[in-house]
Amino acid sequence: MAYFKFGNYVFPEELIKSGVSAKPNQRQTIDSYSDGYGVTQVNTLKHTKTQIQFTTVNMSGEKMKNIMHGITSNYINELKRDAECTYYDDEYQKKKTGHFYLDQSLEFNTLEERDGIPLEYGEMTWLFIEY
């Protein structure tokens, strides 16, 4: 299921190359240690983090413009590039919502431009990380 919603913007499935890769509910730990017997003592936090990643296909500049409008118009905080996002959680087999940000290493792949305006974009990898 290729589904990811950033705010109220749903990424068009036809632009997602081969599905959405999810790392749901990644456990976090604090102050874990090995005890005197060499057994690891893990202190797991209640809050988990999910990462969503996918690659989009080559697309026109107009389609990219629509995607970026869908994303930027849903920012909660423009500096953080964040939104309430909905995704499919494979671990629990249901849709879930969380507070995510668009990874700062987003790289645009311009294939063709005219007068400095992109006409076509190549494949791009998108990564969204939950707070």
pTM score, two decimals? Answer: 0.87
Domain regions of the chain by residue span: 4-27+44-130
Q: Is the dihedral of CA 26, 130, 8, 14 positive or negative?
A: negative
Which parts of 18-81 are beta strand (E)? 21-26, 33-34, 40-41, 49-56, 59-60
Pairing assessment for the beta strands 4-6 and 21-26 based on DSSP bridges = unpaired
Q: Tens of pLDDT along 42-86?
A: 999 898 999 999 999 999 999 999 999 999 999 999 999 999 999
Dist. CA 12–CA 9, nearest whole Å: 9
Query: What's the pLDDT at 58?
Result: 97
Query: What's the pLDDT at 18?
Result: 84
